[in-house]
């Protein structure tokens, strides 16, 4: 495989990096994944330190345009001023992002059969299952692939439990790049089939996600491949932050009161925060919406450790495989964001996640995988506990299609017995 010389200098001065652990700053003159000092102290069993945040020269950006024109110009240029790429033409020709934000005026929660309740607040669903590979993670893959294309990389590797791998495979195919996807053996078959269909090199390993992650890093160092891993490549956050810019635009440049985000390793929620933080730094907004981290009770290693003095992990077991994480690799950045901006958190059971899938489906026609439904389960729990005030504006991120992991629903579905193909049989059935 062709490989790029990793010592080649990056030709850009539009951004720089800041270590989320020690605060050290690095210029953009060379390829970086982690802070070398902090990452050298990382230990097995703990979230990695040294994850980098990408920052821009916000004062210079503000000086280019009048304040009344600033967001218009950012949007017209595909937010290029606050992205680490040189040209919007480097992005895929597929439609990544710009996903619908649906207003849901009423919900039937089965409290009164056949009667929906008009909601006294605004509920919006941001449906990222409409991305090309049916996952929120296309946002990160597209930006990573665009950067790789500009810098001369043709081979991109990632470790994945499913969605990140199929996303990289699909977006690489659209860019005419080669994807290498390393997955734990036993990852959901639908996602693996999707990965292979896109032409990626799939490498299952007899180990867990953390072992696949470490192997992908060793391989990228040995072969000179570009690495897409979340909480390793800082540009995954930059791709995911665009969802916040879209929400701001779709709400006519106003903010929601709350955003419910399903959380696993902490990268998506950090991206949501980062998008709004960029708007704050540019003076386009004056406050941060309340962002609610939602985790499964069977995989709560991020939320449970938010206020802990010492990080303690426990084995994850949840049907929401995409957010099943023993060691959340973006823990420290996510915790920093949640602490700095007074974020909230809620833990939901697998039963509540399954309920959310079906409440969402029958009320909206949207079918989400369990990990995506976790955010909606968090919203329903807030609603049940009377934490949603009237006249507030609430957004739930739906991060992936239910077709990505349909086997998770088999135990929850009672399939009807077949009938004879006879109209009288149907007439005798109760449809009232």
pLDDT of residue 258: 98
Residue 2 clears pLDDT 60, i.e. is over it:
no
Query: Locate tokens 């009161």: which residue?
Result: 257
pLDDT of residue 184: 87
pLDDT of residue 432: 65
Residues whose CB is less than 8 angstroms from the CB of residue 224 and which lie 6 or more positions away in sequence, other chains included: 3, 4, 5, 6, 155
Across the range 300-315, mean pLDDT stands at 95
pLDDT of residue 59: 95
pLDDT of residue 207: 86
pLDDT of residue 242: 98
Q: How confident is the model at residue 112 (pLDDT cuts 50, 70, 90)?
A: very low
Structural domains of the chain, with CATH: 101-134+237-412 (3.40.50.1100)
Residue 363 clears pLDDT 70, i.e. is over it:
yes
Q: What are phi and psi for residue 330, nearest 5 degrees?
A: -105, 30
* More confident of the two residues 12 and 136: 136
pTM for the structure as a whole: 0.93
C-beta neighbour count of 427 within 10 angstroms = 8
* More confident of the two residues 349 and 190: 349
pLDDT of residue 143: 97
Tens-digit pLDDT profile for residues 43-93: 988 999 999 999 999 999 999 999 899 999 999 999 999 999 999 999 999
Residue 176 clears pLDDT 80, i.e. is over it:
yes
Across the range 2-18, mean pLDDT stands at 66
Could you tell me how many residues make up the chain? 432
Residues whose CB is less than 8 angstroms from the CB of residue 71 and which lie 6 or more positions away in sequence, other chains included: 248, 249, 253, 284
pLDDT of residue 58: 97
Which of 137-141, 208-212, 355-359 is predicted with the least confidence, judged by mean pLDDT? 208-212
pLDDT of residue 9: 52
Residue 113 clears pLDDT 50, i.e. is over it:
no
Using alpha carbons, select from 377, 122, 390 the residue that is nearest to residue 261. 377
Residue 7 clears pLDDT 50, i.e. is over it:
no
pLDDT of residue 12: 63
Q: How confident is the model at residue 111 (pLDDT cuts 50, 70, 90)?
A: very low
**Which two tokens mark 270?**
């950090």
> What mean pLDDT value characterizes the chain?
92
In the chain, helix, strand, coil percent, each to 5? Answer: 40, 15, 45
Across the range 231-248, mean pLDDT stands at 97
- Residue 331, helix vs strand vs coil: helix
């Amino acid at each position: 495989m062709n490989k790029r010389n990793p010592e080649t200098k990056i030709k850009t001065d539009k951004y720089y990096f800041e270590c989320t652990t020690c605060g050290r700053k690095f210029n953009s003159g060379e390829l970086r994944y982690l802070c070398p000092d902090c990452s050298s102290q990382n230990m097995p069993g703990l979230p990695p330190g040294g994850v980098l945040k990408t920052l821009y020269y916000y004062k210079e950006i503000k000086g280019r345009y009048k304040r009344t024109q600033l967001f218009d110009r950012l949007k017209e240029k595909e937010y290029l001023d606050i992205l680490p790429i040189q040209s919007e033409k480097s992005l895929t020709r597929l439609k990544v992002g710009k996903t619908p934000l649906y207003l849901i005026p009423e919900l039937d929660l089965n409290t009164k059969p056949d009667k929906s309740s008009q909601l006294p607040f605004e509920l919006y669903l941001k449906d990222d299952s409409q991305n090309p590979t049916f996952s929120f993670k296309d946002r990160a893959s597209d930006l990573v692939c665009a950067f790789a294309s500009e810098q001369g990389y043709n081979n991109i590797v990632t470790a994945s439990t499913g969605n990140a791998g199929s996303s990289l495979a699909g977006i690489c195919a659209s860019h005419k790049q080669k994807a290498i996807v390393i997955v734990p053996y036993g990852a959901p078959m639908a996602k693996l089939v999707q990965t292979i269909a896109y032409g990626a090199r799939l490498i299952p390993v007899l180990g867990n996600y953390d072992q696949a992650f470490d192997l992908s890093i060793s391989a990228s160092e040995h072969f000179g491949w570009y690495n897409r891993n979340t909480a390793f490549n800082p540009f995954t956050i930059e791709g995911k932050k665009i969802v916040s810019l879209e929400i701001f635009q779709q709400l006519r440049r106003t903010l929601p009161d709350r955003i419910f985000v399903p959380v696993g390793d902490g990268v998506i929620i950090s991206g949501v925060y980062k998008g709004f933080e960029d708007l704050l730094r540019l003076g386009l907004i004056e406050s941060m919406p309340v962002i609610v981290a939602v985790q499964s009770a069977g995989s709560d290693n991020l939320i449970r450790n938010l206020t802990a003095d010492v990080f303690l992990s426990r084995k994850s077991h949840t049907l929401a495989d995409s957010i099943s994480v023993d060691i959340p690799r973006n823990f420290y950045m996510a915790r920093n964001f949640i602490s700095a901006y007074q974020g909230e958190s809620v833990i939901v059971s697998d039963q509540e996640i399954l309920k959310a899938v079906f409440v969402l489906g029958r009320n909206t026609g949207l079918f989400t995988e369990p990990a995506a439904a976790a955010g909606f389960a968090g919203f329903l729990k807030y609603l049940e506990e009377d934490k949603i005030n009237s006249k507030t504006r609430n957004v739930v991120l739906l991060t992936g299609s239910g077709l990505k992991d349909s086997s998770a629903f088999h135990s929850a579905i009672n399939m009807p017995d077949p009938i004879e193909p006879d109209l009288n049989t149907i007439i005798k059935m109760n449809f009232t």
